[in-house]
């Protein structure tokens, strides 16, 4: 029987970690959120970010690139989901401090080959601010990529332009398809619901989270997601999501992740 290689730092012993630290391997830092992902989806999309990070690390190891996964940050930066009972989000100020501390602790002990795998749109601004600050102070470039944005960009190549347009959005593709592939037991398809296409907020047609339309122009308004979405579903029809699509998107994310690791090591 072939034992699965341990790549999660949380599963390693202190002795293992001291030995690994001497080699300054690549460390992946997955970030996610704990919010409304739609009535059919588990609230913790961080589970998917962590699962993809593990797959990237294992694939990189197979290609000779020593890579480990730091403990996932399950709480994302607050944006549109404060309405959700049980949801937990960090203020942007707190998120910045947490990311600074997480990266700072790794850098302190000589880990300089760091990559952020982001699974939440509300994290993007603080990731940029913190990594830019580290670049200025420590002269270390910490790349990151927003997993679901990359997957969404690849979606038309998997399902075609029209289906991608119809199914793409919060609570639908790409996240629902990826969940149906990676965590199918946590997706309750009997709860599937489509967005109310005629929904209005502030007296105007809804385009997306926090965005309405006025004379064909998108206008941002500071409303939470329950006023501009339908139970966590924004644009996109989740009925068009499936595990086969999720498998193709996951494979693409893993390949991109390994390419990024190789490029980081070349630098």
- Model confidence pLDDT, tens digit, residues 7-63: 999 999 999 999 999 999 999 999 999 999 999 999 999 999 999 999 999 999 999
Three-state SS sequence of the chain: CCCCCCCEHHHCCHHHHHHHHCCCCEEEEEECCECCCCCCCCCECHHHHHHHHHHHHHHHHHCCCCEEECCCECCCECCCCCCCCCCECECHHHHHHHHHHHHHHHHHCCCCEEEEEECCHHHHHHHHHHHHHHHHHHCCCCCEEEHHHHHHHHHHHHHCHHHHHHHECCCCECHHHHHHHHCHHHCCHHHCCCCCCCCEECCEEEEECCEEEECCEEEECCCCHHHHCECCECCCCHHHCCHHHHHHHHHHHHHHHHHHHHHHHHC
- Range of weakest confidence among 102-116, 161-175, 186-200: 186-200
Residue 193 contacts residue 237 (beta carbons within 8 Å) = no
Give the span between the Cα atoms of 40 and 160, in whole angstroms.
24
For residue 2, what pLDDT band results from cuts at 50, 70 and 90?
very low
4 has pLDDT over 70: no
Residues found in the chain: 267
Residue 229 contacts residue 210 (beta carbons within 8 Å) = no
Indicate the domain borders of the chain: 9-160+248-266
User: Any long-range contacts for 100-103 (C-beta under 8 Å, 24+ apart)?
Assistant: 100/130, 100/133, 102/29, 102/70, 102/73, 103/29, 103/130, 103/131, 103/134, 103/142
- Model confidence pLDDT, tens digit, residues 210-240: 899 999 999 999 989 998 888 999 889 999 9
Q: Tell the CATH superfamily of the 9-160+248-266 domain.
A: Creatininase (3.40.50.10310)
3 has pLDDT over 60: no
The pLDDT value recorded for residue 108 is 97
Residue 238 contacts residue 176 (beta carbons within 8 Å) = yes
130 has pLDDT over 90: yes
């Amino acid at each position: 029987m072939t034992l699965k290689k341990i790549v999660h730092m949380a599963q390693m012993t202190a002795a293992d970690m001291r030995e690994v630290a001497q080699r300054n391997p690549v460390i992946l830092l997955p970030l996610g959120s704990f919010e409304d992902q739609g009535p059919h989806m588990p609230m913790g999309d961080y589970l998917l970010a962590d699962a993809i990070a593990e797959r990237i690390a294992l694939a990189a190891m197979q290609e000779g690139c020593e890579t480990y996964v730091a403990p996932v940050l399950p709480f994302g930066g607050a944006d549109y989901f404060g309405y959700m009972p049980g949801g937990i989000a960090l203020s942007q100020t707190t998120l910045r401090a947490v990311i600074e501390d997480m990266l700072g602790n790794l850098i302190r002990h000589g880990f300089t080959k760091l990559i952020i795998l982001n699974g939440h749109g509300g994290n993007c601004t603080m990731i940029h601010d913190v990594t830019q600050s580290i670049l200025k102070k420590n002269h270390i470039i910490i790349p990151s990529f927003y997993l679901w944005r990359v997957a969404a960009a690849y979606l038309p190549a998997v399902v075609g332009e029209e289906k991608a347009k119809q199914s793409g959005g919060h609570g639908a593709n790409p996240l629902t398809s990826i969940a149906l592939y990676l965590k199918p037991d946590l997706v309750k398809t009997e709860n599937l619901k489509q967005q109310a296409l005629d929904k209005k907020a502030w007296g105007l047609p809804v385009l997306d989270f926090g965005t309405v339309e006025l004379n064909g122009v998108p206008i941002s308004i500071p409303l939470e997601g329950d006023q501009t979405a339908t139970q966590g579903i924004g644009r996109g029809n989740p009925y068009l999501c499936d595990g086969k699509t999720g498998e193709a998107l996951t494979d693409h994310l893993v390949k991109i992740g390994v390419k990024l690791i190789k490029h980081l090591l070349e630098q």
